[in-house]
Amino acid sequence: DVKVTQSSRYLVKRTGEKVFLECVQDMDHENMFWYRQDPGLGLRLIYFSYDVKMKEKGDIPEGYSVSREKKERFSLILESASTNQTSMYLCASAGGYGYTFGSGTRLTVV
């Protein structure tokens, strides 16, 4: 089975901090995704990547950036955290038949 690992389960950060969320997959998948999930809004795509060093904006990229230096690792960066970025962040990896999600990072910005 594909394993997708997110580095932190819970994070609390202060407004204005730079925040790094890490995601690692072990199945050599080319496609990786970052979503955030909020009550009533569902899963919204922030950024995705089709290959190393390639990235594309999703539906809500503002305030975020990403890095994919190695195939197995896809990082989400909050340049200057704000309270409206408090959310559940989900990383996913895709090999052709739907996604496998990581366990999620619940980020609280205070």
Interacting residue ranges for other proteins, rule: CB under 8 A: 31, 33, 35, 40-43, 45, 48, 50, 58, 90, 94, 96-104
- Min separation Cβ 79 and other proteins, Å: 23
**Closest to other proteins by CB, 77 or 101:** 101
- Min separation Cβ 19 and other proteins, Å: 19
In the chain, which ranges are E strands?
4-6, 10-13, 19-21, 23-25, 31-38, 42-49, 56-57, 64-70, 73-78, 87-94, 99-101, 105-109
The CA radius of gyration of the chain, in Å to the nearest whole number, is: 13
- Min separation Cβ 92 and other proteins, Å: 8
What's the CA gap between 86 and 106, in Å, rounded? 8
**Closest to other proteins by CB, 80 or 108:** 108
Three-class secondary structure of residue 84 per DSSP = helix
**Closest to other proteins by CB, 80 or 103:** 103
